[in-house]
C-alpha cells in the first residue's frame, strides 16, 4: 500500500524523461494540455464530469520528496541538476475545467492545464487517471439512477472495485451520479456520504437457525432491521422475517425491510410482497441486490417487480460493460503556438478552448459548440460557458463545492438532457459542433503540419 | 485521497452491524471464512493467485483509530460498549493460503481466515477487494505473456487504471503474471519493478519540427533513445528516426528503438523494419503500443509482424473483457460446526479445506482435488498441498517472498499447465474434483439444512 508516500512518482516514466529533455533544452515556456474523451463506449451518449476535486488537490500538493529523488537517482537515468530542479518543483499553473456533475460530450475539453511545460507534462498521469475513472463511474451510475425511475439506488460495490482508491472513488462518483448512499464506511467518514448495510449470509449461517439470526439482529438494531432472506430458501426466509417483524411490532418497533440477493428477483419480490402484505407488513420494504446493473433494474421495474430499493454493486463499480474511456490529455498550445497531432484515429484539436452550451425554449439542452477560449459564442444567442477557471498560479479560485452540490448540479443538468440521449441502448447522439474560429485554426495548422512533416500531398 | 487515514473503516457497513450483533449476543467463537471464485469469466480456464501480501499486511495493521470510533459514534448506530471493544480490536487469527503466483481454479479455497467471528468478518471487504483484483489482473496479464511467445511485454496502463491503488496493484500483479517492467515510477520505487518509458506525442509537438524533437531526446538520452514515430505520419517519422539514429551512431551511441502507437501495426511494423534495415539499423527495435490486448498481440505475431516488444495498457489494466471475478468470502465453519448456504447459484462448500494437486509422469498438472484440510489426499499418490499456513495468532509465519519469487513461481507453474488450458479462446477446463470426505460432509449438512429451514422435501 502506498499510503505513506507522496504521489509525485505516481506518473509514467516517460513524463520524467521528457521533462529532463525539456529541462536540458531550456524549454520552460507555458504549455496547455487538454483532457477530453475521443469516443463514446457502446450505448453511451453523454458523460458526467467527476474527479476534478482530486486533480486540484493533487496539483496543490505535488512535490518530490527526498526519497523520491533518491529513487530517481538510483535509476541512473537522470542528471543531478535535473533532479535538483525537481526537488524545488511546485505546480504553479492555471486550470480551466467543467465543474463536477456537469454533462459533457466527446471531443469537449473537460480540464485544460496551462503551466511551464514540465509541470503540465508531469501531472498528466494523475489528471487522466482520476478524471477518466471518476467520470466513467459517475456516468455508469447515472444510467442506473435513470433506470430506477426514482427508486432508491445505493452503492454496494466495495468488495469488487479495483483496489482501495477505486472503492473510495466509486462511492464518491456514484454519489455525484445520483446514488443515495454507499456501503463503504470510509467513504461515509471521508466524504459524508450516507452509509447503509445490515447483514450478510454469514450472519445467518453463524446461527443454528435462520430465525435465531433474524431475532438477534432485530434485537441489536430494532430501528434498522433489514433481513437477508435468501440464505436457504427465499420464501421460507421471508415467512420467518415476517414472524420477526411482527415480534418487533409487538415491541413498538418496525422492521425496515427484507433483502433478496439471488434467484429470480422478479418472481420472488412479488411473492415476498404478498407474504409481507398478508402479515399486514406493507410498510416493510423490499431491497434487491446481487449482480444488478442498469439493464436488470430497468427489466425488473418494467415487469412490475415491487422492489423499493436497489443495492448495485460490482457491475456499476467496475463499469462492467465499458471499464475505460478512450480519453486523452493532449498538448494543444506551446509557447503561444497552437499545436495538434495527426495520428490515425487520434487527431486532436488545437489551442485553448471553451464549450458553449445552448438550450431550447423549454430549457432543454439543445446543442454545444466547441470553440476557442476567447472566441465570442458564434450564434449570437446566449450560451452557457462550460469551462471556468478554477486555479491560477497553482492556487484554487474559490472554495471546493460540496459533494452534494456536485450531485445537485448533475440532477439539474440531467433533467434537461433530452430523453433520447439517456436511453440505455442505442441512445441518440447530442449535437456538438466546432466553432468557425476553431475550424479555421485546425485546418490551417493541419495544412502547415502536412507541408512541414509529410510533404505536399 | 484517503492516504493519511487507517483502513479499518475500508469495510462495508454490514460488517460492523453484524459485528455489533455478534458482540451483543456473546458470539466470540472462532469462525473460518474461505475466499474462492465461483465461475470462470469467458475464455478463462485458470487463475493466477495474487494479493496475499497486501492481505497479510492489512491483517497485521488493522486497528480503529480515535477518528474512526468518533465517526462510527456519529452514525448513532453503535453502542458505546461495542465501540469500546472495537478500539481494542486487533486481528489475532490464523490464515492458510495459496502462495502468490500459483495457479488456482474455480471453487478452490485461495485464502482461509480463522479468527473470532467479529475479526474474521470485519476483514472480509479488504480481503475480497485485494484478492479479487490482483488475481484478476495477474490472470489477464498472463494471457498477454502467453500470446507474446517470449517477446517482451511491459505495463503501460497507469493512466487508465481505476484509481491510484489500482495503478500500483496492476503493476504488481502484472509483474507476477509475467510482465517484465512497468511505466509506473511509484511501482518501481515501492516494488522494485523495472521501469520503462521514453516519450509521448506531446514531446514531439512541443518542438517546431518532429526531427528536432528526436534530436533533442537523443541528445538527452543517448543510451535510452526510443523514438515515437506516429505523431504525424508513421513512415515519415521512421525515416526521421533513422536519420537521428545514424547521427547517434556517428557519436558512438546506438538508438534502442522506435515506437508505433496507432494505425495498422502489422503493416507499419514491416515497413518501418524495412526503413531501419535499409539504413543498417537492424539493431533498432520496434515497440508496439496503443490499444493492445492478448488477442491483438497474438494476431500481430501470427501475421509475422516484426515487433520486438509490446507496451500493453488499458485493456490489461482494467481486464477489459472481464473486469471482475465472481468471487466470495464465505463462512464455512463456526464454533466447530461446518456450515454452508444454499442460495440459488451461490451454494458453498463447508469446513476448512485443502487443495491436493496431482501431476502426470511428465510433471504437467493433471488434476486437483478439493478436500478437507486434514484429510489424507484421496488417491494415495503423492500430491502437492496447495494451501499452507501463513499466519498464526495474527503474526506472519516466515518472511514475505519477494515479488520476483512470486513471478518465478508463476512462470514455473504456468509452464506445467496443459496448453489447452492456456489458449485465449474456448480453453479446455482443468479437472477439479471433490474428495470423498468433503462430498459426504456437504451432502450431510445440506440435508440437515433442508430439513431444518425448508421442511422435508
For residue range A165-204, list pLDDT tens digits in order. Answer: 999 999 999 999 999 999 999 999 999 999 999 899 999 9
d(CA B331, CA B340): 7
Write down which residue in B317, B335, B352 finishes a domain: B317
Burial A25-62 (b: 16+ CB within 10 A, else e): bebeebbbbbbbbeebbeebbbbbbbbbbbbbebbeeb
Number of domains in chain B: 2
Is-contact A193 B9, C-beta < 8 A? no
**Taking 90 as the threshold, does the pLDDT of residue B141 lie above it?**
yes
Q: Which domain holds residue A233?
A: 197-288
C-alpha dihedral (A3, B159, B226, A2), degrees to nearest 10: 10
Position B381 scores a pLDDT of 79
Contact at CB, A233 and B325, closer than 8 angstroms: no
| Alpha-carbon distance A58 to nearest alpha carbon in chain B (angstroms) | 9
Is-contact B270 B277, C-beta < 8 A? no
How is A115-144 classified by DSSP, letter by letter? EEHHHHHHTHHHHHHHHHHHHHHHHHHHHH
Bridge partners, residue B252, by sequence: none
Clarify whether residues A352 and A279 are in a common domain: no
Clarify whether residues B264 and B205 are in a common domain: yes
How is A280-346 classified by DSSP, letter by letter? T-TTSEEEE-SS--HHHHHHHHHTT----EEEE-HHHHTTTT----EEEEEEEEETTEE-----TT-
Contact at CB, B324 and A318, closer than 8 angstroms: yes
Clarify whether residues B367 and B396 are in a common domain: yes
Is-contact B134 B51, C-beta < 8 A? yes
Contact at CB, A14 and B263, closer than 8 angstroms: no
Position B5 scores a pLDDT of 56
Pairing of strands B326-334, B30-39: antiparallel
Nearest Cα neighbor of B45 from B101, B105, B108, B98 is B105
Clarify whether residues B303 and B342 are in a common domain: no
Question: Is residue A312, in this structure, part of any structural domain at all?
Answer: no
Which residue in A has a C-alpha nearest to residue B195's C-alpha? A13
Share of chain A above pLDDT 70, in %: 98
The larger pLDDT score, comparing residue B298 to residue B4, is at: B298
Position B3 scores a pLDDT of 37
Pairing of strands A353-359, A226-228: unpaired
For residue range B46-64, list pLDDT tens digits in order. Answer: 999 999 999 999 999 999 9
Clarify whether residues A330 and A440 are in a common domain: yes
Query: 3-state class of B77 per DSSP?
Result: coil
Which residue in B has a C-alpha nearest to residue A82's C-alpha? B220
**Taking 50 as the threshold, does the pLDDT of residue B258 lie above it?**
yes
**Taking 90 as the threshold, does the pLDDT of residue B450 lie above it?**
no
**Taking 50 as the threshold, does the pLDDT of residue B118 lie above it?**
yes
- Strands of B94-97's sheet in order across: B337-338, B326-334, B30-39, B111-116, B94-97, B388-392, B395-396
For residue range A219-232, list pLDDT tens digits in order. Answer: 999 999 999 999 99
Position A454 scores a pLDDT of 78
Once rounded to an integer, what is the mean pLDDT over residues A44-61? Answer: 97
**Taking 90 as the threshold, does the pLDDT of residue B377 lie above it?**
no
Is-contact B188 B219, C-beta < 8 A? no
For residue range B297-315, list pLDDT tens digits in order. Answer: 999 999 999 999 999 999 9
Question: Is residue A150, in this structure, part of any structural domain at all?
Answer: no
**Taking 80 as the threshold, does the pLDDT of residue B347 lie above it?**
no
- Strands of A94-97's sheet in order across: A337-338, A326-334, A30-39, A111-116, A94-97, A388-392, A395-396
Q: Which of residues 255-274 of A touch B (CB under 8 A)?
A: 261-263
**Taking 70 as the threshold, does the pLDDT of residue B380 lie above it?**
yes
CA A163 to chain centre: 15
Position B270 scores a pLDDT of 98
| Alpha-carbon distance A354 to nearest alpha carbon in chain B (angstroms) | 21
Residues 6+ apart with CB under 8 A from A181: A152, A154, A155, A193, A194, A195, A196
CATH of the domain at A251: 3.20.20.70
Question: Is residue B4, in this structure, part of any structural domain at all?
Answer: no
At residue A4 the predicted structure's pLDDT band, cuts being 50, 70 and 90, is very low
Question: Is residue B424, in this structure, part of any structural domain at all?
Answer: yes
**Taking 80 as the threshold, does the pLDDT of residue B1 lie above it?**
no
The residue written with cell numbers 491483517 in the block is B59
At residue A3 the predicted structure's pLDDT band, cuts being 50, 70 and 90, is very low
Nearest Cα neighbor of A108 from A429, A356, A451, A413 is A356
Q: Which of residues 403-442 of B touch A (CB under 8 A)?
A: none
Write down which residue in A270, A288, A306 finishes a domain: A288
d(CA B347, CA A263): 12
Clarify whether residues B365 and B446 are in a common domain: yes
Question: Is residue A180, in this structure, part of any structural domain at all?
Answer: no
Clarify whether residues B289 and B391 are in a common domain: no
Clarify whether residues A272 and A342 are in a common domain: no
Once rounded to an integer, what is the mean pLDDT over residues A306-312? Answer: 98
CA B370 to chain centre: 23
Position B382 scores a pLDDT of 87
**Taking 70 as the threshold, does the pLDDT of residue A456 lie above it?**
no
Clarify whether residues B244 and B367 are in a common domain: no
Write down which residue in A263, A288, A313 finishes a domain: A288
Interface test with A, best of B165, B231, B263 (most A CBs within 10 A): B165
C-alpha angle with apex A183: A401 to B73, nearest 5 degrees?
A: 80
Rounded to the nearest 5 percent, the helix, strand and coil shares of chain A are: 40, 20, 40
d(CA A384, CA B158): 34
> How distant, in Å, are the alpha carbons of A189, B19, B26 from that of A219?
26, 13, 13
Question: Is residue A159, in this structure, part of any structural domain at all?
Answer: no
Is-contact B155 B170, C-beta < 8 A? yes
Is-contact B230 A45, C-beta < 8 A? no
Which residue in B has a C-alpha nearest to residue A188's C-alpha? B71
**Taking 70 as the threshold, does the pLDDT of residue A103 lie above it?**
yes
At residue B4 the predicted structure's pLDDT band, cuts being 50, 70 and 90, is very low
Give first-to-last CA distance, chain B, whole Å.
53
Nearest Cα neighbor of A244 from A223, A217, A220, A204 is A217
Pairing of strands B94-97, B388-392: antiparallel
For residue range B417-448, list pLDDT tens digits in order. Answer: 999 999 999 999 999 999 999 999 999 999 99
At residue A162 the predicted structure's pLDDT band, cuts being 50, 70 and 90, is very high
d(CA B360, CA B370): 18
Residues 6+ apart with CB under 8 A from A171: A155, A158, A182, A184, A187, A191, A193
Is-contact B391 B56, C-beta < 8 A? yes
Clarify whether residues B43 and B147 are in a common domain: no
Clarify whether residues B257 and B341 are in a common domain: no
Contact at CB, A9 and B186, closer than 8 angstroms: yes
Contact at CB, A202 and B121, closer than 8 angstroms: yes
d(CA A112, CA A127): 10
At residue B2 the predicted structure's pLDDT band, cuts being 50, 70 and 90, is very low
Interface test with B, best of A14, A239, A263 (most B CBs within 10 A): A14
Question: Is residue A12, in this structure, part of any structural domain at all?
Answer: no
Quote the DSSP letter at residue A256: -
C-beta atoms surrounding B382 within 10 Å: 9
Least CB–CB distance from A199: residue in B18, B71, B345: B18
CATH of the domain at A395: 3.20.140.10
**Taking 60 as the threshold, does the pLDDT of residue A2 lie above it?**
no
Clarify whether residues B349 and B443 are in a common domain: yes
**Taking 60 as the threshold, does the pLDDT of residue A121 lie above it?**
yes
Question: Is residue B1, in this structure, part of any structural domain at all?
Answer: no
Position B346 scores a pLDDT of 72
Task: Share the mean pLDDT of chain A.
Answer: 95
- Per CB-CB distance under 8 Å, the chain B contacts of A200 are 14-15, 18, 124
C-alpha dihedral (A344, A349, A355, A359), degrees to nearest 10: -50
Is-contact B159 A128, C-beta < 8 A? yes
Amino acid at each position: 500500500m502506498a499510503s505513506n508516500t507522496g504521489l509525485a512518482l505516481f506518473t509514467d516514466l516517460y513524463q520524467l524523461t521528457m521533462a529532463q529533455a525539456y529541462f536540458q533544452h531550456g524549454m520552460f515556456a507555458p504549455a496547455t494540455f487538454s483532457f477530453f474523451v475521443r469516443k463514446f463506449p457502446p450505448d453511451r451518449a453523454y458523460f458526467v464530469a467527476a474527479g476534478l476535486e482530486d486533480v486540484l488537490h493533487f496539483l496543490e500538493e505535488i512535490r518530490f520528496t527526498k526519497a523520491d529523488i533518491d529513487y530517481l537517482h538510483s535509476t541512473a537515468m537522470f542528471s543531478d541538476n535535473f533532479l535538483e530542479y525537481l526537488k524545488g518543483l511546485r505546480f504553479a499553473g492555471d486550470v480551466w475545467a467543467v465543474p463536477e456533475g456537469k454533462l459533457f460530450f466527446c471531443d469537449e475539453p473537460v480540464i485544460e492545464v496551462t503551466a511551464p511545460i514540465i509541470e503540465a507534462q508531469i501531472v498528466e498521469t494523475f489528471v487522466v487517471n482520476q478524471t477518466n475513472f471518476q467520470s466513467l463511474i459517475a456516468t455508469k451510475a447515472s444510467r442506473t439512477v435513470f433506470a430506477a425511475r426514482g427508486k432508491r439506488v445505493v452503492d454496494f460495490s466495495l468488495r469488487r472495485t479495483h483496489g482501495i482508491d477505486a472503492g473510495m472513488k466509486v462511492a464518491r462518483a456514484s454519489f455525484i451520479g445520483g446514488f443515495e448512499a454507499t456501503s463503504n464506511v470510509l467513504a461515509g467518514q471521508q466524504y459524508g456520504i450516507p452509509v447503509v448495510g445490515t447483514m450478510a449470509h454469514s450472519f445467518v449461517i453463524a446461527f443454528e437457525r435462520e430465525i435465531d439470526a433474524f431475532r438477534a439482529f432485530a434485537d441489536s438494531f430494532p430501528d434498522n432491521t433489514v433481513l437477508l432472506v435468501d440464505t436457504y430458501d427465499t420464501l421460507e426466509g421471508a415467512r420467518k422475517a415476517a414472524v420477526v417483524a411482527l415480534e418487533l411490532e409487538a415491541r413498538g418497533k418496525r422492521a425496515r425491510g427484507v433483502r433478496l440477493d439471488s434467484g429470480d428477483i422478479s418472481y420472488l419480490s412479488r411473492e415476498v410482497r404478498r407474504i409481507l402484505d398478508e402479515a399486514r407488513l406493507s410498510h416493510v420494504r423490499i431491497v434487491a441486490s446481487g449482480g444488478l446493473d442498469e439493464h436488470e433494474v430497468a427489466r425488473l421495474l418494467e415487469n412490475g417487480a415491487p422492489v423499493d430499493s436497489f443495492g448495485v454493486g460490482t457491475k456499476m463499480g467496475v463499469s462492467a460493460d465499458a471499464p475505460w474511456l478512450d480519453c486523452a490529455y493532449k498538448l494543444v498550445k506551446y509557447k503561444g503556438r497552437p499545436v495538434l497531432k495527426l495520428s490515425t484515429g487520434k487527431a486532436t484539436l488545437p489551442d485553448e478552448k471553451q464549450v458553449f452550451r445552448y438550450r431550447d425554449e423549454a430549457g432543454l439542452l439543445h446543442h454545444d459548440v466547441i470553440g476557442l477560449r476567447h472566441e465570442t459564442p458564434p450564434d449570437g444567442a446566449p450560451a452557457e460557458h462550460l469551462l471556468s477557471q478554477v486555479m491560477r498560479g497553482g492556487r484554487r479560485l474559490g472554495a471546493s463545492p460540496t459533494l452534494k452540490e456536485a450531485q445537485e448540479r448533475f440532477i439539474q443538468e440531467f433533467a434537461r438532457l433530452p430523453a433520447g440521449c439517456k436511453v440505455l441502448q442505442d441512445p441518440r447522439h447530442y449535437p456538438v459542433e466546432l466553432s468557425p474560429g476553431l475550424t479555421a485554426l485546425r485546418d490551417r495548422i493541419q495544412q502547415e503540419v502536412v507541408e512541414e512533416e509529410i510533404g505536399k500531398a
